[in-house]
Chain A
Amino acid sequence: MIGTWIRAAVLSLGVGVTAVAAEDFIVVQSTTSTQNSGLLDAILPEFRSETGIEVRVVAVGTGQAIKNAMNGDGDVLLVHAKPAEEQFVADGWGVQRYDVMYNDFVLIGPEANPAGVGGQDVEAALAKIAEAQAPFASRGDDSGTHKAELRHWSSAGVDVAAASGTWYRETGSGMGATLNAAAGMGAYVLSDRATWIAFGNKDGMKILVEGDPKLFNQYGVILVNPEKHPGVKAPQGQIFIDWLTGPKGQAAIADFKLDGQQLFFPNAQ
C-alpha cells in the first residue's frame, strides 16, 4: 500500500516538472498556528520552486481541519493532535501518519497575575487559576490546543464544564482571536509558542508557565485516503509529505525564525 504511494511519488517525480502543469496544486488542511506564525509562508515557496506544485493552505482549528479532510476537501492534513490523527488513520480516512515537527504550549497570563501562577508545572498552575476563579480564555473549538488544554484541566482535577460562562470563558475562535480576547479580559490562556511569539497584540500579557514536558506539542502530516475520496491528489500530496519529512523540508522548518527565535523543531523519522 505504502509502497504503491512511494512508487507513485517517485514516478511522478521521474516524469518531472513537465508533467506537473503550472496549475498543479494541492490543498492542505492545516491549523492556524502553522499559518499565523508565518511558517508555511516561509517554507512553501521553496517546495514550489523545486516541484512546481502549489500548496494551497486552508488554516482552521485541528478539529475542523480533520472534519474537512474527512469530507475530502483537502489532499493533505497537517495538524497537532496525535490521538485524533491516529484515529483519523485508523478509521481509514488517512493513509499514514508521519511526525513532522514539534514546539510547545505556554501558559500566558496578565502581568498582574492575580492567581499568582509561575514555574514549570502546568497542572499546578491551572489548579491555582481555578482556585482563584481568575478568568481563563479557552479556545473552546475542538482544536489541537483546545484538546491539549482540556487534558491538562482534567489531570489537574478541575471540572471546567461546570465553570463555563463564569471565570472559564470559551471563545470558540482561533488562537489569535482567543489571545485578543484574553488580552481584553485580562485572562489566562494556553497558546502554542509559535502563535504567541508571532502575535502582535501582546499588550500587558506574558508567558507565566513554560518548560513542563507535558506541554510538548507534536505536529503530524497525513495523506487523505484516495480510496475514500477519489478526487484526492495522492501523488502530489505524497511528494509534499516526502519533502516536508525529508532533509530539505526539515531544514527549512529549522531555519524558520522570528525575532531570532526558532519556532518549530523538526523531528521526522
Chain B
Amino acid sequence: MQGFAQEFTMAMGLILSGDPELWAIVLLSLRVSLMAVLIAAAIGMPMGAALAVGRFPGRRVAIVLLNALMGLPPVVVGLMVYLMLSRSGPLGVLELLYTPTAMIVAQVVLVTPIIAALTRQTVEMLDAEYAEQLRSLGVSRLASVPTLLWDGRVALLTALLAGFGRAIAEVGAVIMVGGNINHVTRVMTTTIALETSKGNLALALALGTILIGIAIGVTGTVSLLGARNGQQEMRHA
C-alpha cells in the first residue's frame, strides 16, 4: 500500500480539476439513474397507491410480494434483462443491449418495487387517517388517490430517494446489460469495479468517494426542498 495517500490525493485532484473523461462518467451515472427513478416513479407510485386504497382479492399477497421484491438481487435483474435484450432474446431486434437504455431498463426493474412499496405504506397510513373525512365528502376510494399522493408528497420524496440510492449505487445489473464500455456505458460503479480489478485501489477509492458525495448531494438537496415544502404546509395550516 505504499504511496496510497499520494495516489489518493492524485485521484482527488483529477476529480476536482474537472477531468472531462471522469465527469462524463459521473454525468452518465446521474443521467441513467435519474431517468430510471423518474420512470420507476411513474409506474410505482400509482401502483403503490392502488394497492393502498384498492380492495380486491389477493391484495395481501400482492403487498407481501411487492415488499419482497424490494430486495431483488441486481445480478438476477441484470441477467433477466440481458436474456430479454440479447440478440437471441425476445427483444433482441431492438438492439438495446450494451446501451445506456438497457441500463435504465435494469434499474427501473430494481427501483420500481421500492418506490411502489414505500408509496403503498405512505398512502395506506394517510388513507386510514382521512378515509372517513373523504368518504363524507363523497370522494370514492379511487378518486381519493391523487389527494392522498399530494398530501404525502414529502414522505414520497423519501421513497424516490431510496430508489435513487439503490439505482446509483448498483453495479451487478448495469455491468451485465451495459457491458462497461468505455465512453458508452461506463458509469461510476462499473469504473470502480474496473479500477479495483486493475489493482488501482486508491483510484477506485477516490471514485467511491465521489459516488458517496453525489449520493449525499442529491439526497441533501431533495431533503432540503422537501423540508421547506413541509414548513410551508405548516404555515398554511
Contact = CB atoms under 8 A, between A and B. Distances in A.
Interface string B63-97: 00000000000000000000000111100110101
Report whether over half of chain B's contact residues are helix, strand or loop; otherwise say mixed: loop
Contacts of A200: 198-201
A72 B197 contact: no
Contacts of A176: 196-199
Nearest to B184: A56
A229 interface: yes
Interface in B164-209: 179-182, 184, 194, 196-201
A68 to B, nearest CB: 8
Interface of B: 1-2, 86-89, 92-93, 95, 97-98, 179-182, 184, 194, 196-201
Contact of B87 (A72, A174, A177): A72
A268 interface: no
Contact of A198 (B97, B198, B201): B198
Interface residues of A, number: 28
A36 B198 contact: yes
Given A200-B199, A231-B93, 17 more contacts: A27-B181, A36-B198, A56-B181, A58-B98, A58-B179, A58-B180, A68-B86, A71-B86, A71-B89, A72-B87, A72-B92, A177-B197, A180-B197, A200-B198, A200-B200, A201-B201, A202-B199
Given A41-B182, A56-B184, A71-B86, A231 B92 contact: yes
A58 B86 contact: no
12 contacts: A27-B98, A27-B181, A32-B197, A36-B198, A56-B179, A57-B182, A58-B98, A72-B88, A174-B197, A180-B197, A201-B199, A229-B87
Nearest to A196: B199
Interface string A38-57: 00010000000000000011
A199 B201 CA distance: 10
A59 interface: yes
Contacts of A123: none
Contacts of A179: 199
A60 to B, nearest CB: 8
A113 to B, nearest CB: 20
A198 B194 CA distance: 13
Contacts of A32: 197
A175 interface: yes
Interface string A61-83: 00000001011110000000000
Nearest to B201: A201
A229 B201 CA distance: 40
A131 interface: no
A36 B87 contact: no
Top 7 A-B pairs ranked by shortest CB distance?
Answer: A176-B197, A72-B87, A201-B199, A200-B199, A58-B179, A199-B199, A200-B200
Q: Which of B87, B198, B200 has the most CB of A within 10 A?
A: B198
